[in-house]
Protein backbone atom coordinates (compact mmCIF):
# COMPACT_ATOMS: atom_id res chain seq x y z
CA UNK A 1 0.00 0.00 0.00
CA UNK A 2 1.43 3.30 -1.05
CA UNK A 3 1.83 5.90 1.57
CA UNK A 4 -0.61 8.83 1.56
CA UNK A 5 1.15 12.10 0.87
CA UNK A 6 -0.72 15.10 2.14
CA UNK A 7 -0.78 17.86 -0.45
CA UNK A 8 1.08 21.06 0.29
CA UNK A 9 -0.78 24.10 -0.87
CA UNK A 10 0.43 27.65 -1.02
CA UNK A 11 -2.66 29.26 0.43
CA UNK A 12 -1.32 32.71 -0.08
CA UNK A 13 -0.90 32.33 -3.83
CA UNK A 14 -4.20 30.52 -4.19
CA UNK A 15 -6.07 33.01 -2.03
CA UNK A 16 -7.97 34.77 -4.86
CA UNK A 17 -9.44 31.46 -5.98
CA UNK A 18 -10.12 30.24 -2.47
CA UNK A 19 -11.78 33.49 -1.47
CA UNK A 20 -14.18 33.30 -4.38
CA UNK A 21 -15.04 29.68 -3.66
CA UNK A 22 -15.62 30.53 -0.02
CA UNK A 23 -17.88 33.41 -1.05
CA UNK A 24 -19.84 31.10 -3.33
CA UNK A 25 -20.36 28.60 -0.54
CA UNK A 26 -21.49 31.33 1.82
CA UNK A 27 -23.91 32.34 -0.91
CA UNK A 28 -25.32 28.82 -1.00
CA UNK A 29 -25.70 28.87 2.76
CA UNK A 30 -27.53 32.16 2.58
CA UNK A 31 -29.89 30.66 0.00
CA UNK A 32 -30.52 27.78 2.35
CA UNK A 33 -30.87 29.48 5.69
CA UNK A 34 -31.45 33.21 5.38
CA UNK A 35 -34.97 34.58 5.28
CA UNK A 36 -36.30 35.75 1.93
CA UNK A 37 -36.41 39.37 2.93
CA UNK A 38 -32.71 39.74 3.58
CA UNK A 39 -31.43 37.40 0.88
CA UNK A 40 -31.07 39.94 -1.93
CA UNK A 41 -29.09 42.45 0.08
CA UNK A 42 -27.03 39.73 1.75
CA UNK A 43 -26.18 38.07 -1.55
CA UNK A 44 -25.22 41.32 -3.23
CA UNK A 45 -22.98 42.35 -0.35
CA UNK A 46 -21.35 38.95 -0.06
CA UNK A 47 -20.70 38.76 -3.80
CA UNK A 48 -19.24 42.22 -4.09
CA UNK A 49 -17.24 41.81 -0.89
CA UNK A 50 -15.86 38.48 -2.07
CA UNK A 51 -14.82 39.75 -5.46
CA UNK A 52 -13.23 42.88 -4.07
CA UNK A 53 -11.35 40.85 -1.47
CA UNK A 54 -10.15 38.48 -4.19
CA UNK A 55 -9.00 41.43 -6.27
CA UNK A 56 -7.08 42.77 -3.29
CA UNK A 57 -5.42 39.36 -2.93
CA UNK A 58 -4.43 39.40 -6.61
CA UNK A 59 -2.92 42.82 -6.14
CA UNK A 60 -1.07 41.69 -3.04
CA UNK A 61 0.63 38.79 -4.82
CA UNK A 62 1.08 40.59 -8.13
CA UNK A 63 4.83 40.07 -8.22
CA UNK A 64 4.80 36.43 -7.12
CA UNK A 65 5.37 33.43 -9.27
CA UNK A 66 5.37 29.76 -8.49
CA UNK A 67 4.88 26.48 -10.28
CA UNK A 68 4.17 24.53 -7.13
CA UNK A 69 1.34 26.51 -5.61
CA UNK A 70 -0.98 23.50 -5.76
CA UNK A 71 1.19 20.46 -6.28
CA UNK A 72 2.04 21.45 -9.82
CA UNK A 73 -1.51 21.73 -11.05
CA UNK A 74 -1.59 25.51 -11.24
CA UNK A 75 1.05 28.04 -12.19
CA UNK A 76 0.94 31.44 -10.58
CA UNK A 77 2.77 33.96 -12.75
CA UNK A 78 2.45 37.48 -14.12
CA UNK A 79 0.12 36.81 -17.04
CA UNK A 80 -2.05 34.53 -14.92
CA UNK A 81 -2.41 37.16 -12.22
CA UNK A 82 -3.11 39.92 -14.72
CA UNK A 83 -5.86 37.82 -16.26
CA UNK A 84 -7.26 36.95 -12.84
CA UNK A 85 -7.31 40.63 -12.00
CA UNK A 86 -9.05 41.40 -15.27
CA UNK A 87 -11.66 38.71 -14.65
CA UNK A 88 -12.29 40.07 -11.15
CA UNK A 89 -12.65 43.67 -12.29
CA UNK A 90 -15.09 42.60 -15.00
CA UNK A 91 -16.99 40.42 -12.55
CA UNK A 92 -17.35 43.24 -10.08
CA UNK A 93 -18.92 45.60 -12.57
CA UNK A 94 -20.97 42.75 -14.04
CA UNK A 95 -22.32 41.82 -10.61
CA UNK A 96 -23.53 45.40 -10.27
CA UNK A 97 -25.72 44.70 -13.28
CA UNK A 98 -26.80 41.31 -12.04
CA UNK A 99 -27.88 42.96 -8.81
CA UNK A 100 -30.63 44.68 -10.78
CA UNK A 101 -33.06 41.79 -10.39
CA UNK A 102 -35.54 43.33 -12.79
CA UNK A 103 -33.80 41.22 -15.43
CA UNK A 104 -34.31 37.84 -13.84
CA UNK A 105 -37.21 35.45 -13.58
CA UNK A 106 -39.09 35.61 -10.32
CA UNK A 107 -38.91 31.85 -9.84
CA UNK A 108 -36.67 30.12 -12.31
CA UNK A 109 -38.19 26.70 -11.71
CA UNK A 110 -41.75 27.79 -12.53
CA UNK A 111 -42.91 26.81 -16.01
CA UNK A 112 -43.36 29.87 -18.27
CA UNK A 113 -46.97 30.93 -18.37
CA UNK A 114 -48.00 28.72 -15.47
CA UNK A 115 -50.04 29.80 -12.44
CA UNK A 116 -46.97 29.25 -10.28
CA UNK A 117 -45.11 31.83 -12.30
CA UNK A 118 -47.89 34.38 -11.95
CA UNK A 119 -48.02 33.71 -8.25
CA UNK A 120 -44.31 34.16 -7.75
CA UNK A 121 -44.37 37.43 -9.68
CA UNK A 122 -47.31 38.63 -7.61
CA UNK A 123 -45.42 37.79 -4.44
CA UNK A 124 -42.47 39.81 -5.67
CA UNK A 125 -40.09 36.89 -5.45
CA UNK A 126 -36.55 37.42 -6.60
CA UNK A 127 -33.98 35.06 -7.95
CA UNK A 128 -30.99 35.26 -5.69
CA UNK A 129 -29.28 31.98 -6.56
CA UNK A 130 -27.72 33.79 -9.48
CA UNK A 131 -25.12 35.29 -7.14
CA UNK A 132 -23.51 32.06 -5.89
CA UNK A 133 -23.75 30.74 -9.44
CA UNK A 134 -21.84 33.76 -10.66
CA UNK A 135 -19.20 33.29 -7.97
CA UNK A 136 -18.72 29.64 -8.89
CA UNK A 137 -18.32 30.63 -12.53
CA UNK A 138 -15.81 33.30 -11.53
CA UNK A 139 -13.85 30.76 -9.50
CA UNK A 140 -13.67 28.46 -12.52
CA UNK A 141 -12.53 31.37 -14.65
CA UNK A 142 -9.82 32.22 -12.16
CA UNK A 143 -8.42 28.70 -12.34
CA UNK A 144 -8.73 28.36 -16.10
CA UNK A 145 -5.85 30.64 -17.15
CA UNK A 146 -3.51 29.42 -14.41
CA UNK A 147 -4.09 25.68 -14.83
CA UNK A 148 -0.98 23.75 -15.62
CA UNK A 149 -2.28 20.33 -16.34
CA UNK A 150 -5.03 19.01 -18.54
CA UNK A 151 -7.22 17.69 -15.74
CA UNK A 152 -7.22 20.95 -13.82
CA UNK A 153 -7.90 22.74 -17.07
CA UNK A 154 -10.87 20.54 -17.78
CA UNK A 155 -12.29 20.83 -14.29
CA UNK A 156 -11.93 24.59 -14.44
CA UNK A 157 -13.68 24.60 -17.81
CA UNK A 158 -16.63 22.73 -16.38
CA UNK A 159 -16.75 24.77 -13.19
CA UNK A 160 -16.97 27.94 -15.18
CA UNK A 161 -19.40 26.55 -17.76
CA UNK A 162 -22.04 24.79 -15.72
CA UNK A 163 -23.23 27.87 -13.79
CA UNK A 164 -23.31 29.82 -17.03
CA UNK A 165 -25.62 27.28 -18.65
CA UNK A 166 -28.05 27.79 -15.81
CA UNK A 167 -27.70 31.53 -15.67
CA UNK A 168 -28.52 31.83 -19.36
CA UNK A 169 -32.00 30.45 -18.64
CA UNK A 170 -32.98 32.91 -15.93
CA UNK A 171 -34.40 35.72 -18.03
CA UNK A 172 -37.52 37.40 -16.67
CA UNK A 173 -39.06 38.14 -20.05
CA UNK A 174 -39.26 35.99 -23.16
CA UNK A 175 -38.52 33.07 -20.92
CA UNK A 176 -38.97 30.39 -23.56
CA UNK A 177 -36.31 32.01 -25.68
CA UNK A 178 -34.08 32.20 -22.67
CA UNK A 179 -34.55 28.59 -21.68
CA UNK A 180 -34.07 27.46 -25.26
CA UNK A 181 -30.78 29.32 -25.41
CA UNK A 182 -29.68 27.80 -22.12
CA UNK A 183 -30.39 24.32 -23.39
CA UNK A 184 -28.57 25.04 -26.64
CA UNK A 185 -25.62 26.39 -24.79
CA UNK A 186 -25.55 23.34 -22.55
CA UNK A 187 -25.82 20.79 -25.35
CA UNK A 188 -23.23 22.42 -27.54
CA UNK A 189 -21.00 23.10 -24.56
CA UNK A 190 -21.15 19.46 -23.56
CA UNK A 191 -20.42 18.52 -27.14
CA UNK A 192 -17.35 20.72 -27.28
CA UNK A 193 -16.22 19.51 -23.85
CA UNK A 194 -16.22 16.04 -25.31
CA UNK A 195 -13.91 17.23 -28.06
CA UNK A 196 -11.75 18.86 -25.43
CA UNK A 197 -11.45 15.67 -23.39
CA UNK A 198 -10.82 13.64 -26.49
CA UNK A 199 -7.96 15.97 -27.36
CA UNK A 200 -6.62 15.73 -23.82
CA UNK A 201 -6.60 11.95 -24.10
CA UNK A 202 -4.64 12.10 -27.35
CA UNK A 203 -2.12 14.48 -25.80
CA UNK A 204 -1.66 12.08 -22.92
CA UNK A 205 -1.16 9.33 -25.45
CA UNK A 206 1.38 11.46 -27.21
CA UNK A 207 3.46 12.52 -24.24
CA UNK A 208 2.59 10.17 -21.44
CA UNK A 209 1.90 13.14 -19.22
CA UNK A 210 -1.04 15.32 -18.37
CA UNK A 211 1.03 18.23 -17.10
CA UNK A 212 1.81 21.11 -19.41
CA UNK A 213 5.49 20.78 -18.59
CA UNK A 214 5.48 17.12 -19.58
CA UNK A 215 3.71 17.76 -22.88
CA UNK A 216 6.04 20.64 -23.58
CA UNK A 217 9.06 18.43 -23.05
CA UNK A 218 7.66 15.90 -25.46
CA UNK A 219 6.99 18.62 -28.06
CA UNK A 220 10.51 20.04 -27.66
CA UNK A 221 12.10 16.63 -27.70
CA UNK A 222 10.02 15.46 -30.63
CA UNK A 223 9.90 11.99 -29.10
CA UNK A 224 6.23 11.18 -29.53
CA UNK A 225 4.07 10.29 -32.48
CA UNK A 226 3.23 13.51 -34.27
CA UNK A 227 -0.17 12.26 -35.38
CA UNK A 228 -1.28 12.01 -31.76
CA UNK A 229 0.04 15.47 -31.09
CA UNK A 230 -1.75 17.01 -34.04
CA UNK A 231 -5.09 15.36 -33.36
CA UNK A 232 -4.84 16.13 -29.68
CA UNK A 233 -3.94 19.72 -30.34
CA UNK A 234 -6.75 20.16 -32.84
CA UNK A 235 -9.43 18.75 -30.54
CA UNK A 236 -8.17 20.65 -27.52
CA UNK A 237 -8.27 23.81 -29.62
CA UNK A 238 -11.88 23.12 -30.62
CA UNK A 239 -12.90 23.12 -26.98
CA UNK A 240 -11.16 26.44 -26.41
CA UNK A 241 -12.25 28.04 -29.66
CA UNK A 242 -15.84 27.11 -28.82
CA UNK A 243 -15.59 29.05 -25.56
CA UNK A 244 -14.25 32.18 -27.26
CA UNK A 245 -16.80 31.88 -30.06
CA UNK A 246 -14.49 31.72 -33.05
CA UNK A 247 -15.85 30.64 -36.43
CA UNK A 248 -16.85 27.84 -37.15
CA UNK A 249 -17.51 27.10 -33.47
CA UNK A 250 -19.45 30.29 -32.91
CA UNK A 251 -22.99 29.25 -33.78
CA UNK A 252 -24.22 29.19 -30.19
CA UNK A 253 -23.16 32.72 -29.35
CA UNK A 254 -25.78 34.88 -31.16
CA UNK A 255 -28.65 32.75 -29.86
CA UNK A 256 -27.31 32.60 -26.33
CA UNK A 257 -26.34 36.26 -26.20
CA UNK A 258 -29.82 37.14 -27.31
CA UNK A 259 -31.70 34.73 -25.06
CA UNK A 260 -29.75 35.12 -21.83
CA UNK A 261 -30.61 37.89 -19.38
CA UNK A 262 -28.57 40.87 -20.49
CA UNK A 263 -26.45 41.14 -17.29
CA UNK A 264 -25.53 37.48 -17.72
CA UNK A 265 -24.68 38.10 -21.36
CA UNK A 266 -22.42 40.94 -20.25
CA UNK A 267 -20.65 38.75 -17.72
CA UNK A 268 -20.40 35.81 -20.09
CA UNK A 269 -19.23 37.79 -23.08
CA UNK A 270 -16.54 39.63 -21.20
CA UNK A 271 -15.26 37.32 -18.49
CA UNK A 272 -15.46 34.00 -20.35
CA UNK A 273 -13.46 35.47 -23.17
CA UNK A 274 -10.75 36.62 -20.81
CA UNK A 275 -10.54 33.23 -19.13
CA UNK A 276 -10.56 31.24 -22.35
CA UNK A 277 -8.04 33.45 -24.10
CA UNK A 278 -5.93 33.34 -20.96
CA UNK A 279 -5.79 29.56 -21.17
CA UNK A 280 -5.15 29.68 -24.91
CA UNK A 281 -2.29 32.12 -24.48
CA UNK A 282 -0.68 29.92 -21.88
CA UNK A 283 -1.10 26.74 -23.92
CA UNK A 284 0.08 28.12 -27.24
CA UNK A 285 2.81 30.34 -25.79
CA UNK A 286 4.30 27.65 -23.58
CA UNK A 287 3.12 24.11 -24.32
CA UNK A 288 2.86 24.19 -28.09
CA UNK A 289 5.33 26.99 -28.79
CA UNK A 290 7.78 24.65 -30.44
CA UNK A 291 5.15 23.14 -32.68
CA UNK A 292 4.13 26.49 -34.10
CA UNK A 293 4.62 25.23 -37.68
CA UNK A 294 1.48 23.16 -37.21
CA UNK A 295 -0.99 25.43 -35.46
CA UNK A 296 -0.11 28.94 -36.57
CA UNK A 297 -1.46 28.52 -40.12
CA UNK A 298 -4.67 27.07 -38.73
CA UNK A 299 -5.26 29.75 -36.16
CA UNK A 300 -4.44 32.33 -38.81
CA UNK A 301 -7.19 30.92 -41.01
CA UNK A 302 -9.65 30.80 -38.13
CA UNK A 303 -8.75 34.33 -37.07
CA UNK A 304 -9.30 35.69 -40.56
CA UNK A 305 -12.59 33.84 -41.03
CA UNK A 306 -13.82 34.99 -37.62
CA UNK A 307 -12.98 38.62 -38.25
CA UNK A 308 -14.50 38.73 -41.71
CA UNK A 309 -17.54 36.61 -40.92
CA UNK A 310 -18.29 38.41 -37.67
CA UNK A 311 -18.00 41.85 -39.25
CA UNK A 312 -20.01 40.98 -42.36
CA UNK A 313 -22.89 39.28 -40.63
CA UNK A 314 -23.07 41.97 -37.96
CA UNK A 315 -24.04 44.42 -40.71
CA UNK A 316 -27.21 42.47 -41.40
CA UNK A 317 -28.36 42.36 -37.75
CA UNK A 318 -31.39 44.27 -36.55
CA UNK A 319 -31.13 43.25 -32.93
CA UNK A 320 -28.62 45.02 -30.74
CA UNK A 321 -27.70 41.94 -28.71
CA UNK A 322 -27.19 39.82 -31.82
CA UNK A 323 -25.13 42.61 -33.32
CA UNK A 324 -22.94 42.66 -30.24
CA UNK A 325 -22.69 38.86 -30.45
CA UNK A 326 -21.36 38.99 -33.99
CA UNK A 327 -19.11 41.83 -32.98
CA UNK A 328 -17.73 39.57 -30.25
CA UNK A 329 -17.09 36.87 -32.87
CA UNK A 330 -15.08 39.39 -34.86
CA UNK A 331 -13.23 40.38 -31.70
CA UNK A 332 -12.39 36.74 -31.07
CA UNK A 333 -10.64 36.91 -34.43
CA UNK A 334 -8.75 40.06 -33.44
CA UNK A 335 -7.69 38.42 -30.20
CA UNK A 336 -6.50 35.30 -31.99
CA UNK A 337 -4.15 37.64 -33.83
CA UNK A 338 -2.43 38.18 -30.51
CA UNK A 339 -2.08 34.42 -29.99
CA UNK A 340 -0.64 34.02 -33.47
CA UNK A 341 1.91 36.76 -32.85
CA UNK A 342 3.69 34.43 -30.40
CA UNK A 343 6.00 37.09 -29.03
CA UNK A 344 6.23 39.17 -25.90
CA UNK A 345 4.54 42.13 -27.56
CA UNK A 346 1.70 39.88 -28.63
CA UNK A 347 1.21 38.66 -25.07
CA UNK A 348 1.20 42.18 -23.65
CA UNK A 349 -1.13 43.41 -26.35
CA UNK A 350 -3.53 40.50 -25.85
CA UNK A 351 -3.80 41.12 -22.12
CA UNK A 352 -4.34 44.82 -22.69
CA UNK A 353 -6.93 44.07 -25.36
CA UNK A 354 -8.77 41.63 -23.11
CA UNK A 355 -8.97 44.17 -20.33
CA UNK A 356 -10.11 47.00 -22.58
CA UNK A 357 -12.56 44.88 -24.53
CA UNK A 358 -14.00 43.25 -21.42
CA UNK A 359 -14.70 46.58 -19.76
CA UNK A 360 -16.27 48.07 -22.88
CA UNK A 361 -18.40 44.96 -23.39
CA UNK A 362 -19.86 45.07 -19.90
CA UNK A 363 -20.51 48.78 -20.40
CA UNK A 364 -22.28 48.22 -23.71
CA UNK A 365 -24.55 45.50 -22.34
CA UNK A 366 -25.21 47.65 -19.29
CA UNK A 367 -26.61 50.28 -21.62
CA UNK A 368 -28.73 47.62 -23.31
CA UNK A 369 -30.36 46.85 -19.97
CA UNK A 370 -31.43 50.47 -19.71
CA UNK A 371 -33.28 50.91 -22.98
CA UNK A 372 -36.77 49.62 -22.33
CA UNK A 373 -40.43 49.93 -23.01
CA UNK A 374 -43.35 48.55 -21.05
CA UNK A 375 -42.56 44.99 -22.16
CA UNK A 376 -38.94 44.98 -21.07
CA UNK A 377 -35.71 45.62 -22.90
CA UNK A 378 -35.91 46.92 -26.42
CA UNK A 379 -33.25 45.28 -28.52
CA UNK A 380 -34.68 46.15 -31.93
CA UNK A 381 -32.14 48.61 -33.32
CA UNK A 382 -34.73 50.57 -35.30
CA UNK A 383 -36.37 51.58 -32.08
CA UNK A 384 -33.10 53.00 -30.79
CA UNK A 385 -33.46 55.79 -33.32
CA UNK A 386 -33.21 59.20 -31.76
CA UNK A 387 -32.05 57.86 -28.43
CA UNK A 388 -29.37 60.54 -28.34
CA UNK A 389 -32.02 63.25 -28.31
CA UNK A 390 -33.98 61.82 -25.43
CA UNK A 391 -31.22 60.34 -23.30
CA UNK A 392 -28.00 62.00 -24.34
CA UNK A 393 -25.90 60.52 -21.53
CA UNK A 394 -26.95 56.96 -22.16
CA UNK A 395 -26.50 57.32 -25.89
CA UNK A 396 -23.14 59.03 -25.48
CA UNK A 397 -21.80 56.24 -23.32
CA UNK A 398 -23.06 53.63 -25.75
CA UNK A 399 -21.40 55.56 -28.57
CA UNK A 400 -18.17 55.54 -26.57
CA UNK A 401 -18.24 51.75 -26.31
CA UNK A 402 -19.09 51.35 -29.97
CA UNK A 403 -16.20 53.62 -30.92
CA UNK A 404 -13.95 51.50 -28.74
CA UNK A 405 -15.17 48.34 -30.48
CA UNK A 406 -14.53 50.01 -33.80
CA UNK A 407 -11.01 50.95 -32.68
CA UNK A 408 -11.35 54.70 -33.12
CA UNK A 409 -8.45 56.69 -31.63
CA UNK A 410 -8.79 58.16 -28.14
CA UNK A 411 -10.59 55.04 -27.02
CA UNK A 412 -9.07 51.96 -25.46
CA UNK A 413 -10.06 49.93 -28.53
CA UNK A 414 -7.67 51.82 -30.75
CA UNK A 415 -4.67 51.20 -28.55
CA UNK A 416 -5.68 47.55 -28.21
CA UNK A 417 -6.05 46.98 -31.93
CA UNK A 418 -2.97 48.98 -32.74
CA UNK A 419 -0.74 47.11 -30.32
CA UNK A 420 -2.12 43.68 -31.19
CA UNK A 421 -1.79 44.24 -34.92
CA UNK A 422 1.68 45.69 -34.64
CA UNK A 423 2.76 42.72 -32.54
CA UNK A 424 1.39 40.33 -35.15
CA UNK A 425 3.05 42.33 -37.92
CA UNK A 426 6.41 42.13 -36.17
CA UNK A 427 6.09 38.39 -36.01
CA UNK A 428 5.53 38.24 -39.75
CA UNK A 429 1.84 37.43 -39.74
CA UNK A 430 1.11 39.98 -42.43
CA UNK A 431 -1.96 38.27 -43.89
CA UNK A 432 -3.87 38.30 -40.63
CA UNK A 433 -2.99 41.95 -40.05
CA UNK A 434 -4.30 42.94 -43.47
CA UNK A 435 -7.50 40.98 -42.92
CA UNK A 436 -7.77 42.50 -39.47
CA UNK A 437 -7.48 46.06 -40.69
CA UNK A 438 -9.94 45.47 -43.51
CA UNK A 439 -12.53 43.84 -41.32
CA UNK A 440 -12.05 46.63 -38.77
CA UNK A 441 -13.09 48.98 -41.54
CA UNK A 442 -16.17 46.89 -42.28
CA UNK A 443 -16.94 46.68 -38.58
CA UNK A 444 -16.60 50.42 -38.13
CA UNK A 445 -19.43 50.79 -40.62
CA UNK A 446 -22.04 49.10 -38.50
CA UNK A 447 -20.87 50.55 -35.23
CA UNK A 448 -21.02 54.03 -36.61
CA UNK A 449 -24.35 53.31 -38.25
CA UNK A 450 -25.78 52.73 -34.80
CA UNK A 451 -24.28 56.00 -33.58
CA UNK A 452 -25.83 57.82 -36.54
CA UNK A 453 -29.12 56.13 -35.79
CA UNK A 454 -29.02 57.23 -32.18
CA UNK A 455 -28.02 60.81 -32.75
CA UNK A 456 -29.18 61.86 -36.18
CA UNK A 457 -32.44 60.02 -36.75
CA UNK A 458 -35.80 61.14 -35.51
CA UNK A 459 -37.40 58.90 -32.93
CA UNK A 460 -40.17 56.59 -34.08
CA UNK A 461 -43.72 56.81 -32.83
CA UNK A 462 -43.50 53.93 -30.36
CA UNK A 463 -40.64 55.50 -28.54
CA UNK A 464 -38.63 53.54 -26.05
CA UNK A 465 -38.01 54.96 -22.65
CA UNK A 466 -34.76 54.81 -20.83
CA UNK A 467 -34.96 53.49 -17.35
CA UNK A 468 -33.60 55.72 -14.65
CA UNK A 469 -30.50 53.63 -13.93
CA UNK A 470 -30.00 52.23 -10.47
CA UNK A 471 -26.92 53.51 -8.72
CA UNK A 472 -25.01 50.27 -9.34
CA UNK A 473 -25.81 50.23 -13.05
CA UNK A 474 -24.86 53.86 -13.21
CA UNK A 475 -21.50 53.08 -11.63
CA UNK A 476 -20.94 50.30 -14.15
CA UNK A 477 -21.71 52.48 -17.17
CA UNK A 478 -19.74 55.41 -15.87
CA UNK A 479 -16.76 53.32 -14.81
CA UNK A 480 -16.65 51.50 -18.14
CA UNK A 481 -16.91 54.71 -20.13
CA UNK A 482 -14.27 56.47 -18.09
CA UNK A 483 -11.88 53.52 -18.32
CA UNK A 484 -12.50 53.23 -22.05
CA UNK A 485 -11.63 56.86 -22.63
CA UNK A 486 -8.82 56.94 -20.10
CA UNK A 487 -7.09 53.92 -21.61
CA UNK A 488 -7.40 55.56 -24.99
CA UNK A 489 -5.77 58.78 -23.86
CA UNK A 490 -3.27 57.50 -21.30
CA UNK A 491 -2.52 53.92 -22.25
CA UNK A 492 1.08 54.04 -21.04
CA UNK A 493 0.63 53.24 -17.34
CA UNK A 494 -1.34 50.05 -18.00
CA UNK A 495 0.79 49.01 -20.96
CA UNK A 496 3.95 49.47 -18.93
CA UNK A 497 2.45 47.64 -15.98
CA UNK A 498 1.46 44.69 -18.17
CA UNK A 499 4.74 44.53 -20.00
CA UNK A 500 6.68 44.55 -16.72
CA UNK A 501 4.98 41.57 -15.17
CA UNK A 502 3.53 39.57 -18.07
CA UNK A 503 6.15 36.85 -18.33
CA UNK A 504 5.10 33.21 -18.51
CA UNK A 505 7.02 30.87 -16.32
CA UNK A 506 7.12 27.26 -17.37
Partner 1 sequence: MLVNNGLVYLIALPLFGSALLLLAGRRADKWGHLFATAMSAMSFVLGAVQFYEMLGRDAENRAVTQKLFTWISVGSFNVDAGLLLDQLSICFVLLITGVGTLIHIYSIAYMDHDKDRRRFFAYLNLFIAAMLLLVMGDSYLNLYVGWEGVGLASYLLIGFWNQKPAYATASKKAFIANRVGDMGLSFAIMIAFATMGTVSFKGVKEAAEGSSQGALTAIGLMLLLAATGKSAQFPLQAWLGDAMAGPTPVSALIHAATMVTAGVYLITRSNFIFDAAPTAQLLVVIVGAITLLFGAIIGTAKDDIKKALAASTMSQIGYMVLATGLGPVGYAFAIMHLLTHGFFKAGMFLGAGSVMHGTGDEVNMRKFGGIRHFMPITFATFGLGYLAILGVPPFAGFYSKDKIIETAFYSGGIKGILIGSIALFGAALTAFYMTRVMILTFAGTPRYDINNPPHESSFLMLLPMGILAIGSVASGFLLARGEALVHWLEPLFHAHEGHGPEILPPVVISLMALGVVIIGASFAWFKYGRGPIADTAPTNVSIFTRIARRDLLQDDFNESVFMRPGQALTRLLVKTDDVVVDGAVRGVASATLGSGAALRTSQTGFVRSYAALIVIGAIALIAAIWAVTL
Give me the residues that bind partner 1 (CB under 8 A), please: 183-184, 187-188, 191-192, 195, 226, 230-231, 233-235, 237-238, 242, 248-249, 251-252, 254-255, 293-295, 297-298, 301, 309, 312-313, 315-316, 490, 492, 496
Q: Taking the alpha carbons of 350, 355, 356, 361 in that order, is the dihedral positive or negative?
A: positive
| Order of strands, sheet of 371-373, starting from the edge strand that comes earlier in the sequence | 376-377, 371-373, 465-466
Q: Measured from the CB atom, is 26 or 240 closer to partner 1? A: 240
Q: Measured from the CB atom, is 42 or 498 closer to partner 1? A: 498
Phi-psi region of 208 (alpha: psi -120 to 50; beta: other; left: phi over 0): left
| Shortest Å, Cβ 10 to partner 1 | 36
Asked whether the beta carbons of 454 and 399 are under 8 A apart, the reply is yes
Q: Measured from the CB atom, is 40 or 224 closer to partner 1? A: 224
What is the rounded distance in angstroms from the CA atom of residue 321 to the CA atom of residue 388?
19
Alpha helices by DSSP H, listed for 371-429, are 387-390, 392-406, 412-426
| Shortest Å, Cβ 104 to partner 1 | 24
| Shortest Å, Cβ 313 to partner 1 | 6
| Shortest Å, Cβ 191 to partner 1 | 5
Q: Measured from the CB atom, is 325 or 368 closer to partner 1? A: 325
Q: Measured from the CB atom, is 242 or 277 closer to partner 1? A: 242
What is the rounded distance in angstroms from the CA atom of residue 79 to the CA atom of residue 191?
29
| Shortest Å, Cβ 246 to partner 1 | 9
| Shortest Å, Cβ 297 to partner 1 | 5
Asked whether the beta carbons of 238 and 192 are under 8 A apart, the reply is yes
Asked whether the beta carbons of 353 and 419 are under 8 A apart, the reply is yes
Q: 74: which strand partners? A: 147
The distance from CA 234 to its chain's CA centroid, rounded to whole angstroms, is 22
Q: Measured from the CB atom, is 14 or 313 closer to partner 1? A: 313
Q: Measured from the CB atom, is 70 or 269 closer to partner 1? A: 269
| Shortest Å, Cβ 304 to partner 1 | 13
Angle, helix 150-168 to helix 226-244, in steps of 10 degrees:
30
What is the rounded distance in angstroms from the CA atom of residue 3 to the CA atom of residue 483?
53
Burial of residue 504 (CB within 10 Å: 0-12, 13-18, 19+) is middle
Amino acid sequence: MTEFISPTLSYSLLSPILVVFAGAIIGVLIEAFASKSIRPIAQVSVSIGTLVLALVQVWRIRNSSSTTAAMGSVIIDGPGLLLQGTILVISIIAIFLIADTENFAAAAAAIPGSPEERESIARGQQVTEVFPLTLFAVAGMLIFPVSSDLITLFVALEVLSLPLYLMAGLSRRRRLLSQESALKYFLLGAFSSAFFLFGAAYLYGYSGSISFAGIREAVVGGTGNDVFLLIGMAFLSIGLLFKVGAVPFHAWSPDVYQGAPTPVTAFMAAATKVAAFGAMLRIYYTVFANAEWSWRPLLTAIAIISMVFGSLVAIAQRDVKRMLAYSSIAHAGFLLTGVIALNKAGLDASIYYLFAYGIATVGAFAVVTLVRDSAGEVTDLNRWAGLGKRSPWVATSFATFLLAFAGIPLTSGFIGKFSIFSAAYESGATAVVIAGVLSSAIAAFFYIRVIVLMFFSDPLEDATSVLIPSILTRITVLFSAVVTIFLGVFPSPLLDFISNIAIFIR
